[in-house]
Structure 1
């Protein structure tokens, strides 16, 4: 029986598509070259582990003079990369809570970026528990982050239903006995919540 539902945030509740944003501000050919030369997602992992947001981005920018200004946009344009919200997913979150079911987040998110995002997305303040990698010092899909959720919440893996858009994150949770759902859109997630008996069709609409 599911006792709590766990949401990833990026690409589940908020779209997170940095490449798409860069394609708006620079030629796609240049964007591809930059992402090929600079491990920007690796840079973001540093932030998600608790690294200082602005300092990390600006330090990386100095290592790659050709792309300095564009890399700095990872900080300056961040909210434009982390948008828009996925409205039905937010409705599902609120519907579960209206049923009295605890809803947690489990997200790879920096300390500074999460604080910043809360100014734009008030629902980020509404989780019953927010498990944010930057504060935890560990990121998905490392096993320790799932263990920390179990320890802090008091729930065993089989008590939790977790959705995430990345198969590696889902696989790691599954190994700990969590119930999982690979998020490919709010429609499928809604159907899963109905199938689990957590929401009615009307509540999941």
Structure 2
């Protein structure tokens, strides 16, 4: 069926999220590899995404790894340098869908503290019709309860939801519940999908 609403992940769909790139530039690739092998920064970030206090969680991680304390604290102190820039074509797609009257939702693993940092910098984060942000929900993708919470709240049946995410496991979890899924590997492919579904014109998809 034609999707009735489009659900956007945020990281690597609307905003680039490549922490390794940031640390390569700051401390060099070799030290970054040592850092990520010694400290599970992605696990610390997952705790934040599931509702953990941003500063406290990262500071606790830094305290457990004194040899890497300053580098770990960059995850907090330089977070806005890590998260970005935006992906302009994806933002145009979001706004074109809204202009066509298609409901647009956000479903993203994003911490409370980090989202509060990002929202003033990326105004389009305020343009969704509904936002499902994991930190506020206390749950995260790909857990089934996240998708169930969206279904219970949004008023659109699962088969009417088209979900774009850059991670296969997040799409698979949504599709298992009857959602339509698009594994995002760039805005061009997503734009073509939306044209094929009749949600955007060729011109709007540019």
- For 2:125, the equivalent position in structure 1 comes to 124
- For 1:95, the equivalent position in structure 2 comes to 96
Whole-Å Cα distance in 2 between the matches of residues 51 and 183 of structure 1? 27
- Residue by residue over 1:38-94, the C-alpha shift from the partner in whole angstroms, topping out at 9 and shown as x without a partner, is 111010000000100011001100000110000000001101111110000000000
- For 2:35, the equivalent position in structure 1 comes to 34
Matches within 5 A, 1:138-157: 138-157=139-158
- For 2:20, the equivalent position in structure 1 comes to 19
Q: CA RMSD in A?
A: 0.6
- For 1:84, the equivalent position in structure 2 comes to 85
- The reply on whether 1:136 has 2:148 as its aligned counterpart is no
Q: Secondary structure of the residue that 2:174 maps to in structure 1?
A: helix
- For 1:45, the equivalent position in structure 2 comes to 46
| Dislocated runs of 4+, deviation >3 Å | none
Whole-Å Cα distance in 1 between the matches of residues 26 and 172 of structure 2? 35
Q: CA deviation at 1:154?
A: 1.6
Q: CA deviation at 1:27?
A: 2.1
Whole-Å Cα distance in 1 between the matches of residues 99 and 29 of structure 2? 44
Q: Secondary structure of the residue that 2:199 maps to in structure 1?
A: coil
Q: CA deviation at 1:168?
A: 0.6
Q: CA deviation at 1:157?
A: 1.0
- Residue by residue over 1:96-140, the C-alpha shift from the partner in whole angstroms, topping out at 9 and shown as x without a partner, is 000001000000000010011011001101100010000111110
Q: Unaligned regions of 5+ residues in structure 1, if any?
A: none
- The reply on whether 1:7 has 2:8 as its aligned counterpart is yes
Q: CA deviation at 1:30?
A: 1.1
Matches within 5 A, 1:50-61: 50-61=51-62
Q: Secondary structure of the residue that 2:145 maps to in structure 1?
A: helix
Q: Secondary structure of the residue that 2:106 maps to in structure 1?
A: strand
- For 2:74, the equivalent position in structure 1 comes to 73
Whole-Å Cα distance in 2 between the matches of residues 3 and 196 of structure 1? 10
Whole-Å Cα distance in 2 between the matches of residues 99 and 31 of structure 1? 44
Whole-Å Cα distance in 2 between the matches of residues 196 and 36 of structure 1? 43
TM norm structure 1: 0.99
Q: Secondary structure of the residue that 1:50 maps to in structure 2?
A: coil
Q: Unaligned regions of 5+ residues in structure 2, if any?
A: none
- For 2:204, the equivalent position in structure 1 comes to 203
